[in-house]
Structure 1
Amino acid sequence: MSDVLALSAGCLGVLALVQAVTFAVGHRIGRYNVVDVAWGLGLALVSLVCLARSQDWRAWALAALVTTWGVRLSWHIWRRTRGGDEDPRYARLLDGAGTGTVVRKVFVTQGLAQWFISLPVQVAAVTGPPGRVGAVVAVIGVLVCITGITVESVADRQLAAYKADPDRPPVMDRGLWGWSRHPNYFGDACVWVGVYLVAASVWPGVLTVLSPAAMVWFLVVATGARLLEQHMSGRPGYADYQARTSFFLPLPPRRTT
C-alpha cells in the first residue's frame, strides 16, 4: 500500500507541475485552451514516472502505448489550435473569471482528472508480473490499446483532410466517419479500456475500473460526443447523417429511405 501511495503522490506532483507550466503559458498568450495540449503530455509523463518505478514488461508496454498516444494527441491538438482564438467552451466557462477561478476550474480540475484516469498505470507499476491467465488479459489489453491509437489517429487524419478540402460536403461522412459519428472518441476510449485490461491482469488492478469508466463518460457525455452533437445538430445534412451512421461504436452504415 505504501508503494502505491508514494508513486501516486509522485505522479500527482508531476501533474501539478505540468498544469502550473501550462497555466503560465496560457496566461501569457491569453488562451487557456492550451490546457488541451497538456492532457496527453501529462498522462505520457505519468507513464514514464511509473516505468521508472517498475521494470515489469507491462510497465514498458504501458509507457510505450500511453506515450505514443499522448504525444500524438498533444501534437495534433497543438497544430489544430495554434494561432487561433480561445475555445468557446473555455470562453463561456471563464467569462469574467479571476485568476483563482481559472486555476481551479481548468487547471486543478484537469490535473486531478489526469491523476484519476492514470490510476491503472500507477497500480500496474507496483504489482508483480501476471500469471498465465493474467498475461492473456494483458496482451488483449495491449491489442485493444493499439487498435484505439490506430483508429483515433486515422480518424483525426481523415477529419483534417476533410477540413482542408475546399469542395468538402457540409458533413464529414468519409472513411471511419461513415461508420461512426465519433470514431476519434471511440479510439480514445479503446486506448484507456486497453490500459485498464493491462492493469487488471494482476490484482488489485481490477479495482481501478472507475478510471476507464470516467474516461468513457467524459468522451461520450460530459465534454465529448454528446456536446459536439448539440453543436452540429443544426448543420445541413446532419440529421440524415445521424439516421444512417452509428453514434459511437463503428458499424456499417444503415440504409435510409
Structure 2
Amino acid sequence: MIYFDPYLLRAFLTVAEIGTVNGTAAALGRTQAAVSMQIRKLEGLVGTRLFERSSKGLTITADGQLLTAYAREILSLNEEIGKRLQNSQIEGRVRLGVVEDFAATRLIHILKAFRDQNPKVDIDIIVEPNKRLAAMFENQKLDVVVCDVSQVNRKPMLVWGEELLWVVRSDIAVSAGTSLPIIMFEESCPWRTAAMAALADRDIQWKIVCEASTLVAMVTAVRVGIGIGPMICDTIPEDCRILDRAAGLPVPVRIDVGLYAQSAASAEADYLARFIARYSRRGLA
C-alpha cells in the first residue's frame, strides 16, 4: 500500500499549478531543494514521472494529470475529516466570481451544499463577463473565479467542457440555405469568436440581428423571437428548442470553463474552491 503524505501532495499540486520549483518554494515558504526532494520522493512512491523537466520549467505528464484529481480529493477529505472530528467550522468571507451562465445553473446546488455545511462562511457572489472576471482575479479582487480558460494565464483546478447549442423559439421554423438571424455575444466575450468561427466553418449565410451582453439578454432575445442564439444546455428556456445538426445549420460550439483560486488564498477560499471541484467530480453539478 502506498502512503500519500499530504505534504508531498501539497507540493505536487502547487508545482502543477505554478509550473516551477522556484515559484512553488516561494508560495509554500520552503527551499527549492526541499520542494525538489518532495517531488522526487513522490515520483519514487508512485513509480512514474509526474513532470517533464526543461529549461522553461516543469510540464505535468499524463500520469501527473491523473494524480492531480486524486491529490486534491485526498487533501480535501483530510482537512474535512479533521475539522469534523474537532467539531470546528471554517469562518470568514470569500469573494467568488462566476460567469453568469454557471451562477444561474450548476453552481446553485454546490453552493447550497457548501453553505449548509459551512454556515459561518460568508460568500460574496460577483457575476461579470469572462474578461472582467479574469481581470478582477488577476488584480486580487477575487479569491475564487469560474470563467473561460482562455482568459486566465494559469492552470485551472478543474475544467468543465461545455457546448454552446444554437437555440431558437420553439414555434419558429429555421431552414438551411437561408440567411440566419443570429443573436451574438458582445465583442469582448471570448465565446463570440468561437461562435462566429463555427458559423464560418459551415459556409452559412448569416447576419447579427442582436447583441446580448448578458445571459438574461440572450434568453430574452431568443424567447422574443429575434433570432437564433448560442446557449449552454442548462440555460435553455422551456419554450425554446435546439437546432438539429442538418447540413447548412450551425454546429455546437465547444467552450472550456475553469475553476481558479488564488495561490495564497485564505483557508476559507481554498476550501470553497476544493469543495466546488470535489462536488463537481461527484456529478452534483
**TM-score, structure 2 length as denominator?**
0.27
Give the greater-gyration-radius structure (CA).
2
In terms of fraction of residues, the more strand-rich structure is: 2
**TM-score, structure 1 length as denominator?**
0.29
